[in-house]
Structure 1
Amino acid sequence: MPSSANTAPTSSRALHHPDRDEIRLEGVLHALADPMRLRVVRALAGSSTELACGDIELAISKSTSTHHYRVLREAGVISQCYRGTAKMNSLRRADLDALFPGLLDCVLRAAARAPSPNS
């Protein structure tokens, strides 16, 4: 996936992603502030490949899970695309590191030290 993933809506399954220059710190911080969204980001950061939404265990309803993924995508934290019927997710690390050097690593280190909610 390109690091700046603005997917033009060419079909009903296309997902909008902000361009790199549209990603704002307050949106990223808001997205990372929720424990469930942070769990998604931690899983993606620890994976060398894209992960389907179902690959990341969240003890919440499907509609709530969908909301959390949408918040992360619209904030520019993750990229999503369809592969068949699965929605695949990847961390937009290159974009986040370019815009906010060290932020993601700092958040991930702090999250690793904190007890995980709902574990």
Structure 2
Amino acid sequence: MATPANLPHPTRADLDLPSVLFALSDPERLDIVRQLRSGPLDMADCSLRVPDMPKSTKSHLMKVLREAGVIRNEANGRGRRLTLRSEDLEARFPGLLPAILDAPVQ
């Protein structure tokens, strides 16, 4: 059972292409993934395009990414540590993540 400190994440085998594409279709979520490409970040350190976005909206963005299997969201002290699941995504959908992340930002 998942607790606030131990959120559920899909296994590599359970990653679903429509869910991953949906998660990456939102500009805010895509921007978060681009930030995580450089390495793990504390959730508090992820910057958003809309800086005064409600905390609940930011949490929802992270939830969509986590449930699709794009990121890992794990307890880190009193905060949360976000990690891009690039190896899992590459194994399941070769070339997808670089193709999306390297596309020009509009």
TM score, norm. by length of structure 2: 0.92
Aligned equivalent of 1:79, options 59, 72, 75: 72
Query: Structure 1: 5+ residue runs without aligned partners?
Result: 1-7
1:57 matched to 2:28? The reply is no
- Three-state SS of the structure 2 residue aligned to 1:21 is helix
- Three-state SS of the structure 1 residue aligned to 2:9 is coil
Give the deviation of 1:13 after TM superposition: 1.8
Alpha-carbon distance in 2 for matches of 1:76, 1:12: 17
Alpha-carbon distance in 2 for matches of 1:87, 1:12: 10
Alpha-carbon distance in 2 for matches of 1:14, 1:78: 14
1:24-39 maps to which residues of 2 (within 5 A)? Answer: 24-39=16-31
What whole-Å deviation, never above 9, does each CA across 1:36-90 have from its counterpart, x for those lacking one? Answer: 0001000000x23x20111111122111000000000000000011111111000
- Three-state SS of the structure 1 residue aligned to 2:6 is coil
- Three-state SS of the structure 2 residue aligned to 1:101 is coil
Query: Structure 2: 5+ residue runs without aligned partners?
Result: none
1:36-115 maps to which residues of 2 (within 5 A)? Answer: 36-45=28-37, 47-48=38-39, 50-58=40-48, 59=50, 60-110=53-103, 113-115=104-106
Aligned to 1:18: 10
Alpha-carbon distance in 1 for matches of 2:56, 2:4: 19
* RMSD across aligned positions (CA): 1.1
- Identify the structure with bigger relative contact order (alpha carbons < 8 Å, sequence gap 6+): 2
* Identity fraction in percent: 44
How many residue pairs end up in the alignment?
103
Alpha-carbon distance in 2 for matches of 1:52, 1:33: 22
